[in-house]
């Protein structure tokens, strides 16, 4: 048994040692990394000459795996597009990630980094914060022979779309969902919680302008809020201002009703009356139930 255990240990150690094969060295500081920094400094400044001096005569450029062979001059000329399309252009490290330089025994020096390109798009006013992962290969003369860029192209697709006039659905002045909102408001003013519940989906989310960003409530929590309001206030009324809009959004394939009201109520404790404007935004699902309800108002009127 001891002999068997020893042999097993021997073969495990032997197998582990032979499963690894060193193929190079990784550096956290390296002259090639300094050249990459110079490349991006030239990119920020739109300095085509400085940018081109760091490239080989011909350079292979990859965008999300798609390969293009370019001359040094053609690749450098791309800086004109960035300079004409963006302002306040800067490139920063995508911390906590940091760059590495690797000297491979067979394939030479490579650098990899993770950066963020930040700028304002001049034509649309969009602020861009693009995460980009890059790989660079170098020849024996220390010039970059290939550039590999990996990024989310949706950022640029969004910028292109913003420059086009595009319809995104329809606006309805009369619609069944508008009628549902009006009936829901009537049930609220009647303090009829049971009458309100059928208008909502089970997974409905509630929010309002007094909550923190992205903070939401579920139906049970919202029902407690209604009960607290009905216990505190009397003669609740909501008078419609203007007219509601029901908008079908093609992009998200949903319907949203926007409505404007003057809310009024009388405090049960001291007879104080409050009046203030309120806007409602309610999103409907395919079953005609409200899945998201957002209210805009100020709590100052309750103080």
Q: Where are the domains of the chain?
A: 25-163, 170-297
Block residue for tokens 């400085």: 50
pLDDT at 16: 53
- Given pLDDT bands bounded at 50, 70 and 90, which one contains residue 17? low
- Residue range 114-128: average pLDDT? 97
pLDDT at 301: 62
In angstroms, the CA 109 to CA 86 distance is 32
Distances in Å between the Cα of 78 and the Cα atoms of 21, 46, 103 are 40, 9, 29
How high is the pLDDT of residue 2? 40
Question: Greater confidence, 14 or 108?
Answer: 108
Range scoring the smallest mean pLDDT among 15-24, 48-57, 197-206: 15-24
Give yes or no for residue 13 having a pLDDT over 90: no
Which CATH code, of 3.10.450.50, 3.20.20.70, 3.40.50.740, 2.40.30.30, is assigned to 25-163?
3.10.450.50
Residue 107 has a pLDDT of: 85
The pLDDT of residue 298 is 83
Strand 55-63 vs strand 86-93: parallel, antiparallel, or unpaired?
Answer: unpaired
How distant is the alpha carbon of residue 206 from its chain centre? 21
CA 54, 59, 61, 65 dihedral sign is: negative
Q: Among residues 168, 175, 190, 194, which one has the least CA distance to residue 282?
A: 175
Residue 228 has pLDDT above 60, yes or no: yes
Quote the pTM value: 0.68
Number of other CB atoms surrounding residue 225 within 10 Å: 12
CATH topology of domain 170-297: Nuclear Transport Factor 2; Chain: A, (3.10.450)
Mind listing the pLDDT tens digit for each residue in 270-286? 999 999 999 999 999 99
Query: Is 170-297 the same fold as 25-163?
Result: yes
Using alpha carbons, select from 127, 102, 129 the residue that is nearest to residue 113. Answer: 102
Torsion over CA: 164, 168, 211, 229 (sign) = positive
The whole-number pLDDT of residue 19 equals 64
Binned at pLDDT 50, 70 and 90, residue 4 comes out as very low
- Average pLDDT (210-238) is 93
């Amino acid at each position: 048994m001891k002999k068997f255990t020893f042999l097993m240990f021997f073969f495990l150690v032997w197998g582990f040692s032979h499963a690894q094969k060193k193929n190079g060295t990784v550096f956290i500081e390296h002259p090639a990394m300094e050249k990459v920094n110079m490349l991006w400094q030239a990119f920020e400044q739109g300095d085509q000459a400085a940018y081109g001096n760091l490239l080989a005569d011909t350079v292979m450029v990859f965008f999300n795996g798609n390969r293009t062979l370019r001359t040094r001059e053609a690749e450098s000329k791309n800086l004109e597009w960035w300079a004409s399309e963006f302002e306040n252009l800067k490139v920063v490290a995508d911390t906590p990630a940091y760059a590495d330089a690797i000297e491979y025994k067979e394939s030479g020096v490579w650098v990899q980094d993770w950066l963020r390109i930040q700028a304002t798009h001049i034509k649309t006013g969009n602020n861009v914060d693009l995460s980009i992962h890059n790989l660079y290969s170098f020849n024996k003369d220390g010039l970059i022979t290939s550039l590999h860029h990996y990024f989310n192209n949706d950022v640029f697709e969004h910028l292109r779309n913003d420059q086009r006039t595009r319809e995104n659905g329809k606006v309805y002045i009369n619609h069944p969902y508008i009628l549902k909102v009006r009936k829901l408001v009537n049930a609220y003013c009647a303090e009829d919680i049971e009458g309100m519940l059928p208008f909502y989906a089970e997974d409905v989310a509630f929010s309002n302008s007094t909550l923190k960003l992205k903070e939401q409530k579920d139906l049970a929590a919202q029902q407690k809020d209604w009960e607290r309001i009905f216990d505190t206030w009397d003669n609740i009324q909501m008078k419609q201002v203007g007219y509601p809009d029901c908008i079908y959004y093609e992009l998200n394939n949903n319907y949203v009703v926007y409505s404007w009201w003057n809310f009024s109520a009388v405090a049960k404790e001291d007879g104080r009356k409050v009046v203030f404007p309120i806007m409602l935004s309610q999103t409907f699902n395919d079953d005609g139930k409200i899945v998201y309800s957002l209210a805009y108002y100020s709590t100052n009127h309750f103080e």
